[in-house]
Amino acid sequence: MGLSGPSTRVPLASSAESCRLARGTVRQLLDRADVDADTRDTAVLLATELASNAIEHGGGPALLDAYVRADAIRIAVADPSPVLPTPRPIADTADELSERGRGLLLVAALASRWGAEPHAHGKTVWCEIDLA
């Protein structure tokens, strides 16, 4: 499907500041697209999780792509690691004091769809949120 609304692409350095950049970039994109606040906030959270995982586990800088189609918002983050992500079983994240290990569970729970695709220079992890 082709683009029907605004899109953005931004490089993410291997630093914690990149999560803030991902949040702000997706928020601005969805504000321009006039996406409702609840959907926008969900997309911002998912972009943050994908960016955080890429920075922490991806082994180098990442690239965020986000765009709005007529039927969905798509957020994708590419990084240089060939290792495809796998959500941890819920039992492995049961420690309620742990600050880690729930990112992909959030993505799986809140996105309409998500996945990961290998490519010649690593992988891309993506999610989509359906627009009503």
Q: Is residue 2 part of a domain?
A: no
Cβ(129)–Cβ(43) below 8 Å: yes
Number of domains in the chain: 1
Q: Could you tell me if residue 73 is inside a domain?
A: yes
Structural domain includes residue 1 = no
- 132 residues of the chain, pLDDT tens digit each: 444 678 999 999 998 899 999 999 999 999 999 999 999 999 999 999 999 999 999 988 999 999 999 999 999 999 999 999 987 665 555 555 455 556 899 999 999 999 999 999 999 999 999 997
Any idea what the CATH number is for the domain that residue 102 is in?
3.30.565.10
Range of the domain at 119: 7-130
Q: Which residues face 90 on adjacent strands?
A: none
Q: Is residue 113 in a domain?
A: yes
Is residue 31 domain-resident? yes
Tell me whether residue 59 is in a domain.
yes
pLDDT for 39: 97
Whether residue 36 is contained in a domain is answered as: yes
Cβ within 8 Å of residue 38, ≥6 positions away: none
Q: Domain for residue 13, yes or no?
A: yes
Contact (CB, 8 A) for 88 and 31: no
For the chain, what is the HEC assignment? CCCCCCEEEEEECCCCHHHHHHHHHHHHHHHHCCCCHHHHHHHHHHHHHHHHHHHHHCCCCEEEEEEECCCEEEEEEEECCCCCCCCCCHHHHCCCCCCCCCHHHHHHHHCCEEEEEEECCEEEEEEEEECC
How far is it, in rounded angstroms, from Cα 84 to Cα 41?
26
